[in-house]
């Protein structure tokens, strides 16, 4: 698969199907965000895509687990954020900023 096709594939996947483990999710963070904390559009949500064979799940939520969980609870289908695709040597191969499916 070419790099551009792979990038499009992962952008279409976004964070759909990624589980958010309850461990490490602080209730006070949910309270802050849902009670008028900083608007979620101003905070970066970052999904990273690792090279094949490096991890069992190639995608991971690098930043924004609480915001994605709240958006899912509210019934949102997309959030604004960024995605980064890493290569086998750790360098960033591609970037995307925009609507990410959740």
Q: Parse the chain into domains and list their residue ranges.
A: 3-17+43-101
Q: Has residue 82 got a pLDDT over 90?
A: yes
Residue 83, classed as helix, strand or coil, is strand
81 near 47, Cβ under 8 Å?
A: yes
Q: What is the pLDDT of residues 19-40, one digit of tens each?
A: 887 777 777 776 666 666 665 5
Q: Which pLDDT does position 86 carry in this prediction?
A: 93
Q: Give pLDDT tens digits for 85-102.
A: 999 899 999 999 999 999
How far, in Å, are 28, 39, 58, 99, 101 from residue 13 at the CA level? Answer: 29, 24, 11, 11, 7
pTM (2 d.p.): 0.79
Q: Report DSSP letters for 6-19, one per residue.
A: HHHHHHHHTTTT--
**Average pLDDT estimate for 45-53:** 91
């Amino acid at each position: 698969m070419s790099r551009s096709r792979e990038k499009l594939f992962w952008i279409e996947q976004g964070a759909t199907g990624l589980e958010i483990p309850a461990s490490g999710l602080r209730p006070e963070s949910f309270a802050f965000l849902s009670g008028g904390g900083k608007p979620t559009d101003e905070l970066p949500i970052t999904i990273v895509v690792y090279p094949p064979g490096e991890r069992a799940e190639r995608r991971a939520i690098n930043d924004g687990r609480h915001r994605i969980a709240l958006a899912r609870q509210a019934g949102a289908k997309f959030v604004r954020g960024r995605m980064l695709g890493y290569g086998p040597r750790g360098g960033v191969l591609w970037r995307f900023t925009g609507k990410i499916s959740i």
